[in-house]
Amino acid sequence: MRYAAFQLPGIALASALSFAAWEWFAVPAWAAFGALALWAAKDLLMARFVAHAYEGHARGGVHDLVGRRGIAESELAPSGTVRIGAERWRAECAPGVARIAAGARVRVVEVDGLTALVEAD
C-alpha cells in the first residue's frame, strides 16, 4: 500500500504529460495514452520486487537473530565466530555455557551490541 502511495505523484505527472502531448502537440491519442499505460504497467510489475522496501516494519537487524540457528565456525571458549544463514557473526557462549566446539550447531539466545550470545543446539 505504501508503495502505491509513493507512485501516485509519478502517475499524476505521467498523466498530465500524456494529456499535454495529446492536446497541445498533436501526438496521437493511442501513443500518448499508450505511454501512460506502459508507465502504469511498469509500476505494477516493479511493485512485486520493491514493495517490501516500503513496508513500515524493519526486516533484518540484530534483534531478529534471537532464536535463529547456525554453525560455530571456530571454537567458542568463550568467544569465536558463528555462521547464521549467509552471515558470519562474532559470538560468545551464553551465560552458563563454558565451551562450544567448532562445527557444532548453535542457537542465538541474546544479542549484545553486534555479538550474538549462543548456546549449543
Both 28 and 76 in one domain: the answer is: no
Name 22's Cβ contacts closer than 8 Å, sequence gap at least 6.
28, 29, 32, 33
Q: Which domain holds residue 113?
A: 62-120
Q: Please give the pLDDT value at position 60.
A: 61
Q: Please give the pLDDT value at position 22.
A: 94
pTM score:
0.52
User: What is the domain-level CATH number for residue 116?
Assistant: 2.40.50.140
Q: Please give the pLDDT value at position 94.
A: 94
User: Does residue 59 carry a pLDDT above 60?
Assistant: no
Ranges of beta strands (E only) in 31-101 are: 69-72, 79-84, 87-93
